[in-house]
């Protein structure tokens, strides 16, 4: 991430961020799936993690999804999918196992456009491993359940704690902003029919509310 003015997190901010971080992760058991969908974003580590799961024989083919996005164009000028594909290839995933979806601009696009890419390639998954950033798991799952109800989705992200994650992707305050933005969408998108509804524990909602009050709001929806 670039161009973000860092701010210090208080002890309470960190505690609340940990609660929100845990809420976003679904801790699905990793089992073999028909295919995988690698969702783009600002974390290139998602691509290498996807490669690792491929080498563990968890799926035979993947779609790497993500277009040019104002939030990531400085680090991925050719588009998220192109850069993620290059990393997967460098990690030993064969070219024939990677399908490219280069136009998605949001999570809904990731699902809908990747479904079209699979179909064009003659791949019709019955189960799908969604590989994403750790704080994107829940929204990816909820979106997939709404936008592609015929497939059985599972989520996976690199096993890392928040304090270590921000060292590789930071600044910490921007990561918190992004987690808050994703949580808002988890709660609001069902009414717009973008995603299925998810239960939100009281502790997670309280942590979210405190962080919003503290100003971690740059990635929230605008009215």
pLDDT tens per residue across span 25-79: 999 999 999 999 999 999 999 999 999 999 999 999 999 999 988 878 788 888 8
**Sign (positive/negative) of CA torsion 80, 124, 50, 106?**
positive
Give me the percent of the chain exceeding a pLDDT of 90.
89
The mean pLDDT value for 194-199 works out to 96
Estimate the share of the chain in helix, then strand, then coil, as percent rounded to the nearest 5.
50, 10, 40
Measure the CA–CA gap between 119 and 42, rounded to whole angstroms: 27
Tokens of 119: 């179909």
pLDDT digits 0-9 by tens, 151-161 = 999 999 999 99
The mean pLDDT value for 118-135 works out to 97
Task: Tally Cβ neighbours within 10 Å of residue 103.
Answer: 16
Measure the CA–CA gap between 97 and 54, rounded to whole angstroms: 9
Residue 73: the pLDDT is 79
> Is pLDDT at 223 greater than 80 in this prediction?
no
Tell me which residue has tokens 């050719």: 78
Residue 5: the pLDDT is 54
The mean pLDDT value for 125-149 works out to 98
Residue 123: the pLDDT is 97
Task: Tally Cβ neighbours within 10 Å of residue 34.
Answer: 17
> Is pLDDT at 202 greater than 90 in this prediction?
yes
Computed over every residue of the chain, the mean pLDDT equals 94
């Amino acid at each position: 991430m670039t161009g973000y003015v860092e701010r210090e997190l208080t002890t309470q901010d960190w505690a609340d961020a940990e609660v929100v971080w845990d809420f976003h992760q679904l801790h699905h058991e990793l089992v073999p799936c028909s295919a995988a969908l690698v969702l783009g974003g600002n974390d290139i580590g998602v691509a290498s993690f996807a490669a690792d799961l491929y080498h563990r024989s968890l799926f035979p083919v993947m779609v790497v999804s993500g277009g040019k996005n104002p939030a990531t164009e400085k680090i991925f000028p050719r588009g998220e999918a192109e850069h993620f594909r290059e990393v997967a290839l460098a990690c030993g995933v064969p070219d024939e196992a990677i399908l490219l979806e280069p136009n998605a601009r949001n999570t809904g696009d990731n699902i809908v456009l990747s479904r079209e890419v699979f179909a064009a390639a003659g791949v019709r998954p019955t189960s799908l491993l969604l590989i994403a950033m750790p704080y994107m798991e829940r929204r990816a799952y909820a979106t997939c359940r709404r936008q592609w109800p015929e497939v059985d989705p599972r989520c996976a992200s690199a096993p890392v704690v928040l304090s270590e994650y921000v060292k590789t992707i930071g600044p910490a305050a921007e990561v918190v902003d992004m987690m808050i933005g994703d949580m808002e969408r988890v709660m609001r998108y069902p009414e717009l029919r973008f995603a299925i509804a998810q239960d939100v524990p009281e502790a997670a909602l309280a942590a979210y509310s405190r962080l919003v009050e503290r100003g971690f709001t740059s990635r929230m929806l605008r009215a």
